[in-house]
Amino acid sequence: MTVLSVDSPARDQVAALRSRAVSARELLDLHLDRIAERNPHLNALVSVDEERARAGAAAADEAVAGGGEVGPLHGLPFAFKDTHEVAGWRTTYGSPIFADHVPDRDELIVERIRAAGAVTIGRTNVPELAAGSHTFNRIFGTTLNPVDPSRTAGGSSGGAACALAAGMVPLAEGSDMGGSLRNPASFCGVVGLRPSLGRVPAWPQANQWETTSVGGPMARDVRDLALLLSVLAGPDPRAPLALGDPGSAFANPAAAPLAGLRVALTVDVDGAFEVDHEVAGVVEAAGRRLAAAGARVRAAAPDLGLADETFRTLRAWHFQARYADLLAAHPDQVKPALADNIRAGEPLTGADVARAYEQRTALSETMRIFFEDHDVLLLPVSQVPPFPADQEFPTEINGRPMETYLDWMRSAYLITVTGCPAISVPAGTTRDGLPVGVQLVAPHGADLRLLEVALAVEELAFEGMG
């Protein structure tokens, strides 16, 4: 019998709690010990409250002892991304402006996880206002990579990915606009899913029709990720764009047969971006493993020529609409790169935004047609491996300069504006042992199919690395 530890799969921890092989108090203690051991060096968790966590674990044990129905995450320690509001817990958004902000209600994603029985222990660190794929801010400092602490954990869900990989939490949630679930998952060697638009509903929203950012799950393997997605997914009357499939549909995916699977492989989407040579090698090796397992792998890419302008326009419009007043009121408390991002939206016209939405519609149609001939698209998650933590962003790739701090994230954000589900699955390492994930993309709404393929790819990668 395997001894339960903080590194055990979340589903094994849930099973142990249900069978009373371990209590929620004991499981919390195991995680608090790991947090005490690793968090001071990695800085993944913030606003940790042991006293309230212990009270939550005690309540979870009492519920199990009472013999009533318990949720699918009952008793699991959980830390929420510090951009998602949790009633009664400090939520800073990584900004000094909100250093003392304590919400009085849960966001929907938090509400669902808490209703599933998770025990809140704290928050996961984020970049300032979740802007950028490197997690640092002036309140809590920088989150470091658990594999190599001289490197970044990515972002904006960097604290979540680091805490997960380091065994401080068994599952994690986050959000993704330009790669904020996928990029840190790749950097930290875990799994991160950007679901289809509408799969994980959000509430409250300042603009519920602005859909570049979505919430989603992270886990150490695909089956655990499916467990969390089963809690997060499903319709809600407060979210009119939510898809109707119940969350339970995603709970138990089976690995897809690889024989005959139609895989389109591209390293750079026909030259749309530069990719580090070692990252490219991991993607190509994943394609070879799939081909050896019977998949029909061929070089192909959708035409995403409209995606860069579309994403940058919508991102700038969103940031300006949401944060312009904040920047005007607190000009010295917003990091320069973020201030530039907010100001980038100022010259946009209604025609610019309308064109971006027309282009996004065209991209959706491009992907629909592309997936008539392919089951999944395989490409890099990030164009680089984890970069030094003392850099704000990579300034060059293979000697090619990156002009802005968005340039190195094209491999993720070009997919964002298609609306398709995309998952980062660990697939290899660099020569220095740094994690590298591959990105799998499926048609909109095909999240379960994507999980099934990801599970098969995960098993192949494990065999290849074993």
- 107-137 tens-digit pLDDT: 999 999 999 999 999 999 999 999 989 999 9
pLDDT of residue 418: 98
To the nearest whole percent, how much of the chain has pLDDT over 70?
99
Catalytic option among 8, 23, 47, 81:
81
pLDDT of residue 161: 98
Neighbours of 296 (CB within 10 A): 15
CA distance 451 to 47: 32
- Residues 159, 368: contact at Cβ < 8 Å? no
To the nearest whole percent, how much of the chain has pLDDT over 90?
95
- On the question of pLDDT at 53 being above 90, the answer is yes
Give which of 46, 40, 154, 38 is closest to 95, Cα–Cα: 46
The per-residue pLDDT for range 129-176, each reduced to its tens digit, is 999 899 999 999 999 999 999 999 999 999 999 999 999 999 999 999
- Residues 415, 301: contact at Cβ < 8 Å? no
CA distance 131 to 383: 18
Binning pLDDT at 50, 70 and 90, where does residue 464 land? Answer: low
Q: Please name the amino acid found at residue 408.
A: W
- On the question of pLDDT at 345 being above 70, the answer is yes
3-state secondary structure of 156: coil
CA distance 410 to 387: 16
Mean pLDDT of 354-381: 98
Mean pLDDT of 252-278: 97
Tokens of 37: 């051991």
- Residues 134, 161: contact at Cβ < 8 Å? no
- Residues 141, 45: contact at Cβ < 8 Å? no
Strand partners, 136: 142
130 vs 461, more confident: 130
Give ∠ CA 299-182-318 in degrees, rounded to 5: 105
Say whether 81 is catalytic.
yes
pLDDT of residue 192: 98
Mean pLDDT of 190-204: 98
Tokens of 76: 């699991």
CA distance 343 to 319: 8
pLDDT of residue 37: 98
pLDDT of residue 1: 40
- On the question of pLDDT at 381 being above 50, the answer is yes
CA distance 92 to 96: 7
Write out the E strands in 271-346: 296-299
Give which of 312, 376, 368 is closest to 345, Cα–Cα: 312
Backbone angles phi, psi at 97, to 5 degrees: -65, -30
Say whether 180 is catalytic.
yes
Q: Are strands 262-265 and 296-299 parallel, antiparallel or unpaired?
A: parallel
CA distance 160 to 163: 5
CA distance 420 to 374: 14
pLDDT of residue 68: 81
Q: Provide CB contacts within 8 A for 149, sequence distance 6+.
A: 41, 42, 389
pLDDT of residue 69: 87
pLDDT of residue 466: 47
pLDDT of residue 44: 98
- On the question of pLDDT at 291 being above 70, the answer is yes
Domains of the chain with CATH codes: 10-240 (3.90.1300.10), 262-465 (3.90.1300.10)
Catalytic option among 8, 157, 180, 382:
180
Write out the E strands in 16-144: 45-46, 77-81, 119-124, 136-137, 141-142
Tokens of 334: 């917003």
- On the question of pLDDT at 302 being above 50, the answer is yes
Q: Which residue has the tokens 């995960």?
A: 458
The per-residue pLDDT for range 27-36, each reduced to its tens digit, is 999 999 999 9
Say whether 186 is catalytic.
no
Catalytic option among 23, 47, 133, 156:
156
CA distance 117 to 409: 35
pLDDT, mean over the chain: 96
The per-residue pLDDT for range 393-433, each reduced to its tens digit, is 999 999 999 988 899 999 999 999 999 999 999 999 999 99
